Amino acid sequence: MALLSPSLLSADFYNLGKEIEQSIQCGADWLHIDVMDFHFVPQLSFGAKIVEDIKKHNPVFCDVHLMVTNPQDHIIPFAKAGADLINFHAEAAIHGDRLINLIKENGVLSGITINPATPVDTIKHYLPLVDMILVMSVNPGFSGQKCIEYTFNKIAELDIIRKEFGYTYTIQIDGGINSSNVKNVLKLGADIIVAGSGFFSLDNDKRKDFSDLIHNYQ
Ligand code: DX5
Ligand code: ZN
């Protein structure tokens, strides 16, 4: 079954606790935590405290997307805060294997992310090592951008490779996904759907419909 991971960047921060609880009631499986450093991407968001505070109230799976230039500096703080999965950008990683090992040694699931124009081939050596590959379908930095559809081919490519070699990673897609295009990515093999504006702009009934669409897709 595919899973829904709403991106908190599109939530109403004034009502964050309520937004999280309602998201879960509407079928969110994970929470997607977008960490931005104003360097790798042109925006600042939040640090590890957000995960620590969420976990004090709710055991929900926290899926941390590091959009930062120095991912090595953020892994231990997020692991200590209770992150369940930490993924970093291939474009930012100088010593990727070391980072994957550091994530695993801290008891956290590991992921690697590729920007829209980064080919799958760039990360081929990481494929047997990680728990998740995140395919960005927008250039990271903002919610509410239009999906770049040429990225969808990489979902299919990753799905074929994992079947061929018996790799166990899941495939996540992030950026501009909504109820109109989600079936296209599910069809190609996406397992984890991130949605920011495509989820938080909906009322609760429509959020439930969106999560049902993802959960019931065969
Ligand atoms: C983009 C972030 C995404 C974003 C998704 O930099 O990594 O997770 O918040 O938002 P939407 O779904 O609105 O593109
Ligand atoms: Zn993200």
Architecture of the domain delimited by 3-215: Alpha-Beta Barrel (3.20)
Measured CA angle at 184 (ends 213, 123), to 5 deg? 115
* Per-residue pLDDT reduced to its tens digit, 121-174: 999 999 999 999 999 999 999 999 999 999 999 999 999 999 999 999 999 999
Judged by DSSP in three states, 65 sits in strand
DSSP designation for 44: B
List, in sequence order, every residue forming a beta bridge with 111; answer none if it has no partner.
87, 132
Dump pLDDT digits (tens) for 71-88: 999 999 999 999 999 999
Ligand 1 center from residue 75 Cα (angstroms): 21
| CA 175 to ligand 2 centroid distance, Å | 7
Catalytic choice (29, 37, 131, 174): 174
pLDDT band at 19 (very low <50, low <70, confident <90, very high): very high
| Beta strand 85-89 pairing with 3-6 | unpaired
Report percent pLDDT > 70 for the chain.
100
Structure confidence at residue 97 (pLDDT)? 97
Q: Hey, which of 5, 9, 180 would you mutate to test ligand 1's pocket, going by the most ligand atoms within 8 Å of its Cβ?
A: 9
Task: Reply yes or no on whether 174 is catalytic.
Answer: yes
The CB-side HSE value for 201 (13 A sphere, CA atoms) comes to: 10
Phi-psi region of 123 (alpha: psi -120 to 50; beta: other; left: phi over 0): alpha
Query: Which pLDDT does position 28 carry in this prediction?
Result: 98
Q: What are the sequence ranges of the domains in the chain?
A: 3-215
- 32: Cβ below 6 Å to ligand 1? yes
> Mind listing the pLDDT tens digit for each residue in 62-75?
999 999 999 999 99
Residue 140, ligand 1, Cβ within 6 A: yes
Sequence-ordered list of residues with C-beta below 8 angstroms from that of 160, at least 6 positions apart, any chain: none
The string of pLDDT tens digits covering residues 178-209 is 999 999 999 999 999 999 999 999 999 999 99
Active-site hit among 29, 34, 84, 131 = 34
